[in-house]
Structure formats: C-alpha cells, structure tokens
Amino acid sequence: MRDREELKKEVRALLKERDAIMLAHNYQRDEVQETADLTGDSLALSQAAADSPAKVIVFCGVHFMAESAAILSPQKTVIIPRMDAGCPMADMITPEDLIKEKEKRPGVPVVAYVNTSAAVKALSDICCTSANAVSVVNSLTEDRVYMIPDKNLSHYVSLTARKKMEWWGGFCPTHERLKVSEVLKAKEENPGAVFVCHPECNPEIVRLADHVCSTSGMYKFAKKTEAQTIIVGTEMGILYKLKKENPEKNFIIPSKALICPNMKLTTLDDVAESLKEMKNIVTVPDDIRAKAKAALDRMLKVPRDF
Ligand code: 13P
Ligand code: SF4
C-alpha cells in the first residue's frame, strides 16, 4: 500500500495541474474527506459544483451526485473516481415506472429526491435533497404532490408539509438496516444522550429522534446541542468531521450495519488514477440534461430546511 501522505500530496498536485476541484460527500472514507477541497451533503456539493470556476470536478460520492454536477455544469469535466459507485435507492425507480405513475395522476407535480438518475429527474418537476425536502414540497402551488423514490423521506416530509402526498416505495438499504432495538439500546446505555437521524431511516426510527436532518444538518446540530453524547442514525463516514469539529463530544453509531458499501468504494488511489488518466468522465445526453437541469435549478432556488 502506498504511503498515504505522499499520495495525498500527489492528488493535490494533480488537482492543481488539471485545474480541478475535489468534492467529497460526508460518507466518504476519512482519507478522501481529508484531501478534498470541500466536503458536504448532496445539496452543498451540487451548489459547489455549479458555482466552482474550476474546469474539472472530481466528485467523490455516488453516481447520481456526479451526474447532478454534470447536469448543472455541462462546460466542466466531471470525473467520478469509481464508475461502479452507484446508489441502490436511485436504481429503484426507472423512467418507465415514473411515466406510469404520472399517467395515474395527471397534473400532480413530481418531486424527485436527488437520489435518482438523470432520466428520472428529466421527467420530474423539481428535485429535493434531505436538506430542503419540506421547503421544496411547500414551495409548490398545487395541493397534491407525488414524491420519488424514497418512501421514508416522503413519509417524513408528509408529517409537516402542507400537502396531500403520495410516494414511490424505494428506500436506502443502508439506513433501512438500523433497528429500533439498536437505537433503544444505545439510548439506555447513554442516559442524557440525544438521538439525531437521517430522514432515510424508517418512520419507527424517526419517531425516536430528537432531530431529523441531512448529513450536513447533523454537523450544525452537533455544535448547537448542549448534550455531551449524540447517538447518530446515519452512515458512519459522518463520524470523521463530527469528531474533528467536536473533540469534546461523544458520538455513537448505534449499528455496525450503518455502512454504505458504495460510498466506501472510492480510495485516494482511485482519485489519483482517474485524474492522471482523466478517465471516468460522467456525461448526460443533451435532451435529458436540459430537462433534468430545470428540475435541479428550480430546487436550488429553495432555501434549506435546517
Ligand atoms: P445527504 O443529502 O444528507 O448528504 O444524503 C445523501 C444520501 O445519499 C444519504 O444516504
Ligand atoms: Fe444511496 Fe443509501 Fe448509500 Fe446514500 S447511503 S448513497 S441513499 S445507498
């Protein structure tokens, strides 16, 4: 295995040489987060991809995230270091599925979680992330909304949104693995701890939470809460920055199963290789890109929930 410090320096030098910016999702491996120019949730990274003056974007995350960057910035070269880093939830709805659902509900706007393919976004009215989903749904003038693909995020939004909502039955296999018994055990073992979870967790878990938010929302919450111990219901890559920013606090991931295999595929070696060879470029056909961009642009005008 190559020396990690040396590799980090090599990646930084390659980024400079290629006029590239390295973005890393909050679930990425520590070494990837450590080397990136910016870490964040899906919303922050989409915004950074759209705003960055760099010619090349190296997107360390999963495919739909890099694809969103390519949709928003067609003039930039978007690289995903591992082409095989997909999101199983995004694969749970196809354009054909969505066309059928839309036919059943003429005139009902479709809100697509960014965890969808470009072709599905192109058939949707507006996108959302876990950081703005309630505001996005409430921003619509219609009374009814159809939300895709995550049944758990949709259920969570329906608790507070002022809309009649229906949704597709997709889910995140990683968050779905968190059990109520594991959260209750962590609470019992840590009296006085607060529990924060991602809205991709199922409703039984959400019901136990003191706060529900996106991954970046968790950093804000961790800084703000007076509790010394925080039980965190999301993928364990979140710990890297939580611990770094709050060395005096104690963070507990209640289940060993909270690990997204796709998010963990990317190593620094992959980043260096893709930059050296300028390979794994993500592109989206123009007709799909224009329609998907309209749904993403509409979302970017809506403020964050938290
Ligand atoms: P965030 O938008 O909160 O970063 O979540 C993305 C994701 O895929 C969570 O599983
Ligand atoms: Fe997809 Fe879940 Fe992994 Fe997020 S954690 S990328 S939703 S599989």
- If phi over 0 gives left and psi between -120 and 50 gives alpha, with beta otherwise, what is residue 225? beta
Pocket test for ligand 1, best of 68, 115, 262 (most atoms within 8 A of CB): 115
**Strand-strand pairing, 194-197 and 229-233:** parallel
Does residue 129's CB lie within 6 angstroms of at least one atom of ligand 1?
A: yes
- Ligand 2 closest atom vs CA 260: 3
- The protein residue with its alpha carbon nearest to ligand 1, atom 3, reads 214
Burial class (CB in 10 A: 0-12, 13-18, 19+), 305: buried
The pLDDT of residue 305 is 79
| Torsion angles phi and psi, residue 214, rounded to 5 | -70, 175
Write out the two tokens for 160: 């507070």
Going through 80-163 in order, the beta strands assigned E by DSSP cover 110-113, 126-128, 144-148
- Domain residue ranges of the chain, discontinuous segments joined by +: 4-85+263-284, 89-172+287-300, 178-252
Cis previous bond, 203, omega within 30: no
Does residue 305's CB lie within 6 angstroms of at least one atom of ligand 1?
A: no
- The protein residue with its alpha carbon nearest to ligand 2, atom 7, reads 172
- The protein residue with its alpha carbon nearest to ligand 1, atom 1, reads 41
Burial class (CB in 10 A: 0-12, 13-18, 19+), 107: exposed
Q: Hunting for tokens 């990274």 — which residue is that?
A: 45
Pocket test for ligand 2, best of 116, 128, 216, 235 (most atoms within 8 A of CB): 235
Q: Hunting for tokens 């090599």 — which residue is that?
A: 10
CA distance 14 to 218: 32
For domain 4-85+263-284, give the fold: Rossmann fold (3.40.50)
Residue 139 in contact with residue 303, Cβ under 8 Å? no
Show pLDDT as tens, one digit a residue, over the chain (306 residues): 889 999 999 999 999 999 999 999 999 999 999 999 999 998 889 889 989 999 999 999 999 999 999 999 999 999 999 999 999 999 999 999 999 999 999 999 999 999 999 999 999 999 999 999 999 999 999 999 999 999 999 999 999 998 999 999 999 999 999 999 999 999 999 999 999 999 999 999 999 999 999 999 999 999 999 999 999 999 999 999 999 999 999 999 999 999 999 999 999 999 999 999 999 999 999 999 999 999 999 999 998 876
Domain 89-172+287-300 has CATH 3.40.50.10800: yes
Q: Structure pTM?
A: 0.96
Write out the two tokens for 218: 């968790």
What CATH number should be reported for the domain whose range is 178-252? 3.40.50.10800
Query: Which residues share a beta bridge with 127?
Result: 112
Which of 299, 184, 201, 301 has its CA nearest to residue 252? 184
259 Cα: distance to centroid of ligand 2 (angstroms): 9
The pLDDT of residue 306 is 67
- Ligand 1 closest atom vs CA 129: 2
215 Cα: distance to centroid of ligand 1 (angstroms): 6
61 Cα: distance to centroid of ligand 2 (angstroms): 10
Query: Which residues share a beta bridge with 47?
Result: none
Fold agreement (4-85+263-284, 178-252): yes
pLDDT tens digits along 238-267? 999 999 999 999 999 999 999 999 999 999
- With H, G, I as helix, E, B as strand and everything else as coil, classify residue 79: strand
- The protein residue with its alpha carbon nearest to ligand 1, atom 4, reads 41
235 Cα: distance to centroid of ligand 2 (angstroms): 8
| Nearest ligand atom owner, CA of 47 | 1
The pLDDT of residue 213 is 96
Which of 131, 80, 65 has its CA nearest to residue 304? 131
CA distance 292 to 120: 8
Residue type, 184: L
CA distance 218 to 197: 8
